[in-house]
Amino acid sequence: MKKIINDPNQVVQDMIKGLVAAYPNSVKQLPGTTVITGFDVPVDNKVGLVSGGGSGHEPAHAGFVGKGLLDAAVAGEVFTSPTPDQVFEAIKAVDSGSGVFLIIKNYTGDVLNFEMAAELAEAEGIQVEKVVVNDDVAVEDSSFTTGRRGIAGTVFVHKIAGAMAEKGGSLNEVKAVAEKVVNNVRSMGMAISPCTVPAAGNPSFELADDEMEVGMGIHGEPGIERTKITSADEIATELTGKILEDIEINRNDEVAVMVNGLGSTPEMELFILNGKVHDILTEKGINVYKTFVGEYMTSLEMAGCSVTLLKLDEELKELLNAESNGPAFHS
């Protein structure tokens, strides 16, 4: 295992220390926790937004803490859900009396632990609502979840729910628009090389030099097929095609596109892939309103990518365009 780390069992704390040092005027760590919050939380008369999950997916989730985005992110151990007490601390830190909204990726541990934290908060009189993101069209169930997995489409939920909260939306309004995003966003990924969890020291799976796995999850969960590696155009066609089979997007509809790298994929390759995604959508008469290319939800040093499509209406377009400012997301 080759990694630029100190103690494999301290990578999360070391990462948080470095993150806060990089953005001292915008984020801070709650003492004694793995919670990263905005510098000015709680914000008066504003719904607080909390998300998080296992570490190893950076910049998710701490990179999306900021104005018009999350108020707090909770970092679990690598590929491991944060504990309920950590999530509870985040909820308390961002609550201004207007309620707290949880954005949860659909993994069994995350759902259970965030829901337990919500119960603890409600027992103290904090109103909590939630949404569970399940945008991955590849597989229905996996080793980490019941139902579809939550992957890079979660970032669109952060952005749009964050914008609604920033403009003064109520807890119910934030929940409604987050659910609208979940209903209209789909993703699918693939991998050409594995990743290594620091504490484990060995790759999470094996792929031959000429193989790729289509539908691979962000923790190394199996996909739908393992095949010989093909061209970027063929990969884009397969991923985009599976998404369009799963959601009704018609001619003249507008979408936001995200082409996301999993940690070790050069931007050159992501842009090549993005070009074909745009070609496919143009051929179908689907209008691309906005495009995001880069690393938004990674899997340590896994090489691969995911494609996300978000079907837009006027409300979602307005919120997608709203000002936001986090370490990994500016608009």
Query: What are the chain's domains?
Result: 8-184 (3.40.50.10440), 185-319 (3.30.1180.20)
Share of the chain above pLDDT 90, in %: 94
Q: Are 274 and 282 in contact (CB under 8 A)?
A: no
Pairing of strands 72-78, 48-55: parallel
Banded pLDDT at 41 (limits 50, 70, 90) = very high
5-14, 124-133, 143-152: which has the minimum mean pLDDT? Answer: 143-152
Among residues 95, 66, 135, 132, the alpha carbon closest in space to that of 330 is found at 66
Measured distance CA(236)–CA(232) in Å, rounded: 6
Measured distance CA(36)–CA(197) in Å, rounded: 22
pLDDT of residue 72: 98
pLDDT at 94 over 80: yes
pLDDT of residue 146: 79
Angle at 15 between CA 10 and CA 16, to 5 degrees: 105
CB atoms within 10 A of CB 12: 19
pTM of the full structure: 0.97
Per-residue pLDDT, averaged over 181-189, amounts to 98
Mean pLDDT of the chain: 96
Per-residue pLDDT, averaged over 62-78, amounts to 98
Active site residue 219: yes
Active site residue 158: no
Reduced 3-state DSSP string for 226-276: EEECCCHHHHHHHHHHHHHHHCCCCCCCEEEEEEEECECCCHHHHHHHHHH
Query: Can you name the residues that pair with 326 across neighbouring β-strands?
Result: 329
Strands (E), the chain: 27-29, 35-38, 48-55, 72-78, 100-105, 128-133, 185-193, 211-214, 225-228, 254-261, 287-294, 303-312, 325-326, 329-330
Measured distance CA(37)–CA(90) in Å, rounded: 8
Banded pLDDT at 143 (limits 50, 70, 90) = low
Q: What is the pLDDT of residues 263-300, one digit of tens each?
A: 999 999 999 999 999 999 999 999 999 999 999 999 99
Banded pLDDT at 139 (limits 50, 70, 90) = confident
Among residues 212, 156, 223, 148, the alpha carbon closest in space to that of 184 is found at 156
CB atoms within 10 A of CB 137: 24
Banded pLDDT at 141 (limits 50, 70, 90) = confident
Catalytic pick among 57, 158, 278, 330: 57
Per-residue pLDDT, averaged over 207-215, amounts to 95
pLDDT of residue 140: 82
